Structures are given as structure tokens and as C-alpha cells.
Structure 1
Amino acid sequence: MPMFRFALCLLWLGGFLPAPNSRAQTPVGLGWAKNNVNGAVFRKNSVVTQGRDQYVAWYDSAAYVVLAKRRLPAGPWQVQRTPYQGNVKDAHNVISLMVDGAGYMHLSFDHHNNPLHYCRGKAPGSLEMGPLQPMTGQQEQKVSYPEFHRFPGGDVLFMYRDGGSGNGNLVLNRYSPKTQKWTRLHSVLIDGEGQRNAYWQACIDARGTIHVSWVWRESPNVASNHDMAYACSRDGGLTWQRSTGEKYALPITEKTAEYAARIPQNSELINQTSITADAQGRPYIATYWRPAGTQVPQYQLIYLSGSQWKTTQISQRTTPFSLSGVGTKKIPISRPQLLVSTQKGKTAAFLLYRDAERQDRASVLQCPDLATNQWTSLDLTTTCVGNWEPSYDTERWKTDGTLSLFVQRTGQGDGETLENLPPQPVYVLEWRPGHR
């Protein structure tokens, strides 16, 4: 009987998956486009799947949060405008959503050093959101960069910065669908000690391990970003350790952190990029910076090989640029997202990005076997996506290896200024690598 159920599951999934290397664009609605608030890389998540239902969120032209839902693989989108609005003129104020293991949507939006804006769906599968509410009621007055991540068992992790650029701390909460309550895991997991703050990226792997990496920033000036640190938790976020298994004394500080790569200030090192893990739980970090002695920032892969951290350059860009200054920058390349897949002893990697050198299309750098470090580029869109950065459905990728990518052409002026771009179509692009 168990084998019969397994065979039925395979048959169901076979009708659920797009063909390898095929690409499909499914329009959802129109979104605000004068800056990159809908297209920022640190949206966790912009698109998310739970069971056979997929959800997406964005700001419309009047700054309302809009939600949509469809039944996979190709059901029609059900679209609902919520009563909530955000300050869309600040590109930091993204929408992040997650659906817990019981089917309830969790939504957080409109944050850049201001009080928590959080609500939950009224029923499993519902697009009707309840009232704004606190989580724990502690340290919820100066929130930035909300992120949701789902544990394999259906619980939800919420991460955010408490404080400002250059002097903020990382806070962690955990939600249980059984009790329908949030609990505080750490009020200060990574401590900037009032002198700096951590700009992190995080993921939860198939085993439930939380991986976090981060750069330190000494001031609001982006040029003060430096180094790449790492920590992981194998017990749901309670205790934290280095890649060696050595336990951290908390909170983690600049002096006690493990460093996956040492990168000096003024290296055009970007913040808030991507970390992922393979089937064995090995971490991989994608970012970009300008290598010493060169003038051009390049995409870089930092990964753990045995007990050693290694760095490899994976792009061959030719156009220089500078990150100096404050606020959201208008940059000729996007921050990257990284996905990996291990099959038959080979680990393939896929780096999602946008580059003016490729006419600002949504593109992917792919390597079928990281042991060879041979990368090729593929454009996923044929048209320009402006200043868009990649965000995708992490849960669908984990389940069946399909990339569901949030795409919308966006503008972005330098230092939080706007471009005169009318509302642009929001769509979900689907792609399934042929050699995954």
C-alpha cells in the first residue's frame, strides 16, 4: 500500500511540473514601478507555495498591498486588494509573506525603522487578512527587513533588524501553527555593539538547519560593508554554532564571528544577498564585490569544502561601478539569488541576477557541476526588467525543483529617488533546469 501511494504521488507530480528548460510567464496584475520596492532581493518571500496553492504579493499603483492565489500547476489567479498600504516611496519597505503548515498566510510589510506591521490570514488558504497585531510585543518599534522562513514541520521563523543602519541587532521569533502563537528565540542574536550592524541572508535546509551569513556595516555608507560571517542552528534557532560544530557564546559579535571570507571595506561589497544549502546541509553564499587590484565588481561564490571555506569568482564582468553613499542605490547589476541541487554526486548551482551588460534582463548563471566551476549564462526574459532583483518561491523549489520567479519591471533612482515609470505587469516566471 505505501508503494502504491508513492506511485500515485509521482503520477500527480508528473502533471504538476513544467517540462525541463521550458519557461512560462503567468501575469497576475499591475504593480507600483517608480522604484524597486516590489522587486527587492530581500523579499522573503514574494511568492510562496503551500501544498498545491501558490501565493504572491505586491504593492499596486495606489500603494495597497495586493495578494493573489492560484492552484498549481496552472489555475487562474484569484486577486484581492487588502486594506493595508505602505510607504512605497522608500524601496526598503518591502512585502514579505509566508504560509504556515496549517495553511494560514503571514504577512509583514512597510518597514524601515518603524513599528511592526504584521497580520495573519483569517482562515487556512484565505486571502482575507486579519487586523494588524504584535508578535511578542517586545522590540517591535524599529523594525527593518522582515523575513519569513518555513521549517520542514510547518513552523515559521521570523527575522528582522531592530535598530538602524550601522547600529542594529538581529531578532528572531518562531511561530507554532499548533498554538497559533509567536515566541521570542533571541532578542539579540548578532550584536553590532552600537557600532555596526549585520546585513544578513538566511535559509532553512531540508533537515531544518538554519543557515545565516552576514556582512558587517560600520555606518549608513554602503562602502563600509566588510567581511562575510557565518553561523548555523540545528535545534530550531535555540543554540548556534560555527561550521566546525563549535558552539557560539551569544550574542555573536564582530570579534567572535566565524568568517567565511575576509573582505575589506571599500571593496564594493553588497549586502543582503543569498545563502542556500545542498542535500548534505553544506552552505553556499552568493554575493558580489570588487577583487583586490581590480576595478570591476564580480559575482562570487563562497562555499564550504570539507572543513575549509573557499571563494570562487563566477562572472567575468567588464563594467566598473561604485557603491559609495547612503540609501537605495541605482546599480547596474542586481544582488543575486542562489539555488543548488545535488544529484548523482554532482552539485549544480544556479545564480539568478540582472546585469546592464545583458540589457537588464532576468538571467541565470548556471554550473552543472561545481567541481568544474564552468558557468554559462542564460536569459530568462527577452525584455528589460529595469532595476528588478530576483526573489522566488523557496518552498516550491525545495519540493519539486521548479523555479517560480517574481518578475516586474521597476525603476529606481539613486538614494531613494523615483523614476517616472507607470505601473508595470507583475508575473510569475516558471523555469525548470534541464539538468537538475
Structure 2
Amino acid sequence: MQHPSSGSRRYLLLGLLVLGSLLGLPRASRAQTALGLGWARNNVNGAVFRKNSVVTHKREQFTAYYDSLGYVVLAKRHLPAGPWQVQRTQYQGNVKDAHNVISLMVDGAGYVHLSFDHHNNPLHYCRSKVPGSLDMGELQPMTGQQEQKVSYPEFHRFPNGDLLFMYRDGGSGNGNLVLNRYRPKTRQWRRLHDVLIDGEGQRNAYWQACIDARGTIHVSWVWRESPDVASNHDMAYARSLDGGKTWQKSTGERYQVPITERTAEYACRIPQRSELINQTSITADASGNPYIATYWRPAGMQVPQYQLVYLEAKQWKTAQVGQRTTPFSLSGAGTKKIPMARPQVLVGEKKGHRRVYVLFRDAERQDRISVAQCVDLTKNQWTTTDLTTISVGSWEPSYDTERWKKQGVLSLFVQRTGQGDGETLEKLAPQPVYILEWNPNTVAAPVGRASAAPTHAADGWKLVWVDEFNTPGPHDPRRLKFENGFVRNHELQWYLPDSAR
């Protein structure tokens, strides 16, 4: 890797100081050492629709991000806590457009698949030269058809190791959902559907998808009538039990493909101009019941609220998650600077009981990473915990879906990011990228700065070090000292006392 400039040293040191304050926290919630500095002037590294930003295959975990110059950087480590191997690829993206996210996945044979830098432009796709490698091959087509106006690429992995690739063909308000499937045995992609969901030239679907433990594909979506975000409406649903060949409603009634506004099943009817957000998250429990997390402004109310739409006993239900108090409007085109993140939803089991988790970031909670938990949806009582005590700016949650499925451990991609309205940029220097781990089955403490006193003393945890970093001026030399060169791993870096704040 290149030697950092003096400015980069300053921000890397600041990131390491923040991460250093994590020492002594319970293993339930911890952040790994910073991988490097990522582009942060918009949310291209931190968008919720990255599928995936982090992924595990066997005992190796991979992640990707754009660095300060817009190069795609890949990294991997050996679980549970091996050191990160970081490698800048030969590929660059237009990081000034927050739509142009990086999505990656590892197939059942161990090859890394990468797609990046898309907003109505030709497909950018490559895969590793050998299994487990960070050395990527040349850009190549998948099927060669409908690959000129690609947006929102995302990968999903089937239980047998095959991959599903989804993307929008066309523009906002006028686009269609395309599906491809990859088989590691043949190392070839084939088309499943040219148009799974058809906007009929009048609208397009903004979807969220998942593959459950049984291999069922779940897709839900909102319709948008124009590039104006305020034209989002309704929440539709479809599933496939045969790997994407045929599709059905939650009742088992078979769809005629392509699915249109008229033929879709609706999990929830939501009118236009309800501040309904698009591209959020969906998951399924062990029985294959879907759960959709999103937000909108309920009728007669002024404030958008997080909402859970879920299927139970063959009936669609809706539950409000928490109670926000700050109104805002989504009206307008382009990526918005929004006071709340689009949420991620996860379902887990603890002592035989279902638990639902909604991950989010909200200005009402000082833009920390937060998780709302509910153990009984019939009572709809949510407990909210902050997983960090520091702000992550405009970040949205994306996580390692495969590790969560197999181990019940959340590996969350974290980087503080900015975001201006209409694709404008914030004056934010490159920020440290790291993976936050959280195990909901273990007592957790916030990551960022340790509490002044043990939060769960009864569980045997003892606070061993704390520094709030809340005093102006230089750091306390009795608590933190500079290294003359980064001697622990022999990098050619030198931290300057005058650069620390």
C-alpha cells in the first residue's frame, strides 16, 4: 500500500485513537482495527443496498470499499479475529455519485465476485483469478444481454453455493428488474428473467431481496412513478421456491411473469407522498415467513416512523418500531441527505424464541448505530440500544448475511460518511473503515467510548480503561504516547504530535 500523506496520517491517527478506546469492552460488541481510509464525502461506501459489503465463506471474511481516490479496495481475514490483508484493485469508480456502490459475494467454490460503479451505465463485473484471492480478473459480461443501463447490482448466495445477481435495467421511474444465476461448476451465468417486475414504461420497482435457509428467494418492492422520491408507493411481495424459475404470492398463487402493478400482491398499501423510502431490507425466519423493514409517514401524522411489515399465520401485519418526533420530507430527485438511515431487519432465535432486530441510524440518537429489538410482536414492545457512542454521519447499515445465517454473529460494515442533497458532497476527509461485530446472545456495551462505569457489573465485566477524548487540546501523555514509527507491524509511518486533536 502507498505511504500516507501527512494529512492522511492525521486522519488515520484520529481513527486509531477512536478505535483504541474500544479496549476492555465486552466481546459482545467490538470493532476490529481500521482496515484503511475510505472515501467519505458521500454515502457510496455506506449505502444500505450494498449486497454485500461484507461476506464470509467458510473461515474467511471479505469486504470492499472505495479509497480516497476512488479505487476499489478488497480485504480479507481469517475468522474469528485474524489480521486483515488489504489490497487495492486496478479498478476505479465514480465515487461522486452515491448510487455507484460496490457489491461482492463469494460463490460455493470460493471465487470472489465483484460488481461496482453503476448508475444507468454498462455492467462492471469481474471475479477473482483463483479461489480466495484478492487479485481480480478482467471485466467481463455475464450474459451479454441488457447490460448497458445497469443500476443497483446485488449478489445473493443459495445454500448450494450458486449465486443470484439482480439489477435494474433502465432509469428511475422507467426500469425493469433483471435476474441472472451463476453455477460454480460451469463458471457461467445464465438469464433467469429479462423482466421479472415490469414498470410498463410508467414506473419502476425499487426492491429488496433475500434468500432464506431453505433456498427460497423473497422479494418485496415499492413502486415509483417518477424520479421524485415522493412518488414511492405501496409495498408488494413475491417469492420463488425453485431458484427463481417460477414466482408466487404468499398464498401460493402463481404469478404470470412479468409482475406488474395490477397483478402484484400487496403486503401493505401506502399512498404516494407518505415519505415512503425505497431500497431497504427483507429477511425470513426459520419457517420462511418474510419480514420487511422500512419507514413512512402514517396517515394523519407528520413524522415518518420505522415500520415492520411481516407475514404471520398467512396474514400481513404492520408494526411501528419506536416513536420518532422529527418530521422531514423526501420530495425531490437524487440521493437525499436524510436524518434517518434506511433500516436493516434480522430475525434470530434465543432459547427457542423469535427475536426481531431492526438496525438503523437516526439524528434523534446523535447518528449513532442503533438496534431495536422485539421478543414478542403481539405486544410490539421494542428495546433500543446504541452499538456505538460516536456519530457515523450519513451511514446506513449493511452486513455479512452469510455469517449471520450460520453463526448468529453480526458483522457490520462501518465508516463515517457524509451526504449532500441531490448528489452534492460534504467536506469530509477520508474516514477509517472497520467491521463492527455484535453478538445479540451476549451482553453488549456501546462501541466508541466506554462508559464511565460498568453497565453490566453483575455479568462479571470490569472496566479496565476509559478515555472520553472530550477535552480540548493535546491528548494526555500519561494515557497515550506516540510511537516513533509504527513499530508493531513495521509500516513506514510517523505520527506527528501536532497533528493529534
TM-score by length of 1: 0.95
The corresponding residue for 2:235 is: 228
Distance in 2 of aligned mates of 1:25 and 1:368: 29
1:185 corresponds to 2:192? yes
Distance in 1 of aligned mates of 2:239 and 2:351: 26
Please say if residues 350 and 365 of structure 1, whose CA atoms lie closer than 8 Å, have aligned partners that are also in contact. Answer: yes
Q: Secondary structure at the match of 2:35?
A: strand
1:87 corresponds to 2:94? yes
Amino acid at match of 2:436: L
The corresponding residue for 2:82 is: 75
Percent identity of equivalent pairs: 80
Distance in 2 of aligned mates of 1:297 and 1:336: 13
The corresponding residue for 1:237 is: 244
Q: Once the 2 structures are TM-superposed, how far is the Cα of residue 383 of structure 1 from its aligned partner?
A: 0.6
Q: Once the 2 structures are TM-superposed, how far is the Cα of residue 435 of structure 1 from its aligned partner?
A: 6.9
Please say if residues 335 and 389 of structure 1, whose CA atoms lie closer than 8 Å, have aligned partners that are also in contact. Answer: yes
The corresponding residue for 1:5 is: none
Q: Deviations over 1:131-185 (max 9, x none)?
A: 0000000000000000000000000000000000000000000000000000000
Write the mapping of 1:82-161 to structure 2, written as runs, cut at 5 A: 82-161=89-168
1:261 corresponds to 2:268? yes
1:204 corresponds to 2:211? yes
Write the mapping of 1:40-59 to structure 2, written as runs, cut at 5 A: 40-59=47-66
Amino acid at match of 1:157: L
Instruction: Work out which of the residue numbers 249, 259, 273 in structure 1 matches 2:256.
Output: 249
Instruction: Work out which of the residue numbers 174, 177, 181 in structure 2 matches 1:170.
Output: 177
Please say if residues 199 and 214 of structure 1, whose CA atoms lie closer than 8 Å, have aligned partners that are also in contact. Answer: yes
Moved more, 341-350 or 164-173: 341-350
**CA RMSD in angstroms, aligned pairs only:** 1.2
Instruction: Work out which of the residue numbers 359, 366, 378 in structure 2 matches 1:371.
Output: 378
Distance in 2 of aligned mates of 1:293 and 1:370: 24
Extract unaligned runs of 5+ from structure 1: 1-17
Please say if residues 276 and 340 of structure 1, whose CA atoms lie closer than 8 Å, have aligned partners that are also in contact. Answer: yes
Q: Once the 2 structures are TM-superposed, how far is the Cα of residue 23 of structure 1 from its aligned partner?
A: 2.9
Distance in 1 of aligned mates of 2:419 and 2:350: 39
Q: Secondary structure at the match of 2:291?
A: strand
Please say if residues 20 and 434 of structure 1, whose CA atoms lie closer than 8 Å, have aligned partners that are also in contact. Answer: no
Question: Number of paired residues?
Answer: 419
The corresponding residue for 1:304 is: 311
The corresponding residue for 1:408 is: 415
The corresponding residue for 2:302 is: 295
Amino acid at match of 1:219: S
Q: Once the 2 structures are TM-superposed, how far is the Cα of residue 329 of structure 1 from its aligned partner?
A: 0.2
Q: Deviations over 1:48-99 (max 9, x none)?
A: 0000000000000000000000000010000000000000000000000000
Q: Once the 2 structures are TM-superposed, how far is the Cα of residue 116 of structure 1 from its aligned partner?
A: 0.1
Please say if residues 28 and 437 of structure 2, whose CA atoms lie closer than 8 Å, have aligned partners that are also in contact. Answer: no
The corresponding residue for 1:399 is: 406
Q: Secondary structure at the match of 2:33?
A: strand
Extract unaligned runs of 5+ from structure 2: 1-24, 444-501
Distance in 2 of aligned mates of 1:155 and 1:162: 22
Instruction: Work out which of the residue numbers 341, 345, 350 in structure 2 matches 1:338.
Output: 345
Q: Once the 2 structures are TM-superposed, how far is the Cα of residue 212 of structure 1 from its aligned partner?
A: 0.1
1:24 corresponds to 2:40? no
Shift >4 Å, 4+ stretches:
none
1:357 corresponds to 2:364? yes
Please say if residues 97 and 105 of structure 1, whose CA atoms lie closer than 8 Å, have aligned partners that are also in contact. Answer: yes
Distance in 1 of aligned mates of 2:304 and 2:439: 29
Distance in 2 of aligned mates of 1:180 and 1:237: 18
The corresponding residue for 1:385 is: 392
